[in-house]
Amino acid sequence: MAEIRFPLPDVGEGLTEAEIVQWRVSPGDRVELDQVFVEIETAKSLVELPSAFDGVVAELLVDEGATVEVGTPILVIQTDASSGMSSAGSGGAAAAAVVAEAAPEPAAPAVPAPPAVAEETGGAVLVGHGSSGPARSRRRRHPAPGGAHEHLAAVPAPPAVPPAQEAAASGTAGGAAAAAAAAAGAAAAPAAPAPRFAEPSVPVLAKPPIRKLAKDLGVDLSRVTGTGPIGDITRDDVIREASQASVFRNIQTPDLPADRETRIPVKGVRKAIAQAMVSSAFSAPHVSVFVDVDASRTMEYIKRLKASPDYAGVKVSPLLIMAKAIIWAVRRNPTVNAQWTDDEIIVKHFVNLGIAAATPRGLIVPNVKEAQAMSLVELATALEQLTLTAREGKTQPAEMQGGTITVTNIGVFGMDTGTPILNPGEVGIVALGTIKQKPWVVDGEVRPRFVTTIGGSFDHRVVDGDVASRFLADVASIIEEPALLLE
């Protein structure tokens, strides 16, 4: 047997420390190759660490909630000396692991792993240490005939086992007698056909964001009638149901805690946010501009997209049109999609669009890679997936690196406008305010229109005032008339 002291690895983002959030194993548990055994929080995100060894957990060296430096041993695994980390793909983890030979034991004949297994796993690879080998494909889904959700309405029941086979399988004399009696009964009377389908309760069709909204508002989805294209429950359905209930249920104010104060340690994501905001605010001279926009045509456009079969199952929101408008305006004003260095300005001819997302662990800014090459449907899907992953706390460090320009949707919090701080490394950020009906002058007459305020902050070292103004005016023109995207 050998004891392996597993060090905290560098997960490939150049960080020096991380917090142990949750252990997935306990002393005495057996861990297998590539099994996730701990969840850590870096300065950017939550990361799951897979085991690079087969063995038994001997000791957990670090408590949950503790912050440790990269290279510090966090776990002791007992494993066979002949087994352990595969030489192919182990990378720096093999060199970092400290192996201490324990008392010798009688050697058992080594059993080589089947070639198929070795080929599938491709070696034990830690996050940030070399290649992970060929990706494993998911189980293929077979579409149900008649629609995307028809398979939810009828669940096939397990095949009925004839009494004769069940009795014969028992292997007892009583079972044989029962089988004979069952066979005689079957000959006397025809057997009733087995039911083809079970009779489950009607499923609730709702996307994860809708389910979360219903939970926050205290709405029972089983009591809501869906008005979506396939009978699914929409955001409007949930809000309508919530408005029919007591509004006071959702505005209860909790009592003050008994303790006079709460102390929150500055670490992890919160520490990284503070450092990034201070660095950005005091190193890049910000200039901000604002513009009010009639977004009525955008709201009509969104309504038509929601009714289109091409967008069934895809979240369509004003943020989608705003994202497309920013990508379009970047082509006309490329210097807002740049990076400042002390020696040069690097103008990016691609758009990795950052989306500022509020999560339970703080504000993070993942970005949609190569957004300029996406269709509207592809962009909508990417935005939805990015948002869900961020709210679940599963955003990976690579998804927050390489951004070129950012959009923040403060309208979801009821805010009209704001002065956002630049994401470090970028020179432009756009804020979308709330969209609501206001009096607006149209052809000399005051009419109710959907109006929003768009704001933007820019690094004045790179973006001059005229460029910032033209860029924001271009974004506003798309919000006012989405048909310009057809150019």
Give me the active site residues, please. 460
Phi, psi at residue 300, to the nearest 5°? -65, -40
Task: Give the integer Cα–Cα distance in Å for 23 and 40.
Answer: 9
CA distances, 143 to each of 149, 150, 158, 197 (Å): 9, 9, 20, 17
**Contact (Cβ atoms closer than 8 angstroms) between residue 84 and residue 31:** no
Structure tokens at 414: 């009821």
CA distances, 170 to each of 182, 188, 459 (Å): 14, 24, 78
CB atoms within 10 A of CB 294: 19
Task: Give the integer Cα–Cα distance in Å for 408 and 400.
Answer: 15
In the beta sheet, which residues pair with residue 79?
A: 2
Dihedral Cα 418, 374, 137, 230, nearest 10 deg: 80
Structure tokens at 485: 């995207």
CA-based nearest residue to 44, from 276, 265, 263: 276
| Residue in the structure block whose two tokens are 């895809």 | 314
- Residue 335 is classified by DSSP as G
CA-based nearest residue to 406, from 381, 425, 388: 425
Spatial neighbors of 185 by CB under 8 A, at least 6 apart, are none
**Contact (Cβ atoms closer than 8 angstroms) between residue 403 and residue 426:** yes
Q: Could you please report the per-residue DSSP string of 263-285?
A: -----HHHHHHHHHHHHHHHHS-
**Contact (Cβ atoms closer than 8 angstroms) between residue 64 and residue 76:** no
CB atoms within 10 A of CB 340: 18
Task: Give the integer Cα–Cα distance in Å for 406 and 430.
Answer: 6
CA-based nearest residue to 432, from 369, 390, 476, 392: 476
Task: Give the integer Cα–Cα distance in Å for 311 and 305.
Answer: 6
